[in-house]
Amino acid sequence: MDVEKGKQLLSKARKIDMEIADKKDLIEALYTCVGLQGISYDKISVVTSPENRFEAIMAEIDLHKKEVEKLQKQKAKAIREVQKKISALEASPEKRILTSFYIGCHSMLEIADALGYEISYCYQLRKKGIEKL
């Protein structure tokens, strides 16, 4: 398999994983905008406004959570497709690297440390593994 096409094909799950991480960061940031909760207003005069910012932010958070669920389903489908391709390889360091990188979404540095290889050698093995597909 052509290395560039292989990387594109195998990277589906990693790309979706990054989208999920971005959405989760956005959700966390929106939660910080909700403001204080549980304040007693019984002795404070409160001015009401026609717009309820709390509800608007919570609705936006809910929307993003639904998008994360949709992305997680897409990621599961992508993982199954990638796993099917990688499973065609024999047990080897190349297969382990491809699985850890494209399915486990680990960094190449983490993979190199786990296998006890130099990072440059891991990149070479990844390339060889893709070519074997």
The three state secondary structure string of 56-117 is HHHHHHHHHHHHHHHHHHHHHHHHHHHHHHHCCCCCCHHHHHHHHHHHCCCCHHHHHHHHCC
pLDDT given for residue 55 in this prediction = 82
**Average pLDDT by stretches of 10, the chain with 133 residues:** 88 93 94 64 56 81 96 95 93 95 94 96 95 91
pLDDT given for residue 46 in this prediction = 54
Whole-structure pTM value:
0.75
Identify whether the C-beta of residue 31 lies closer than 8 Å to the C-beta of residue 60: no
Q: C-alpha angle 4/7/13, rounded to 5°?
A: 155
pLDDT given for residue 32 in this prediction = 85
To the nearest 10 degrees (0 to 180), the angle between helices 119-132 and 3-10 is 100
pLDDT digits (tens, 9 = 90+) for 96-116: 999 999 999 899 999 999 999
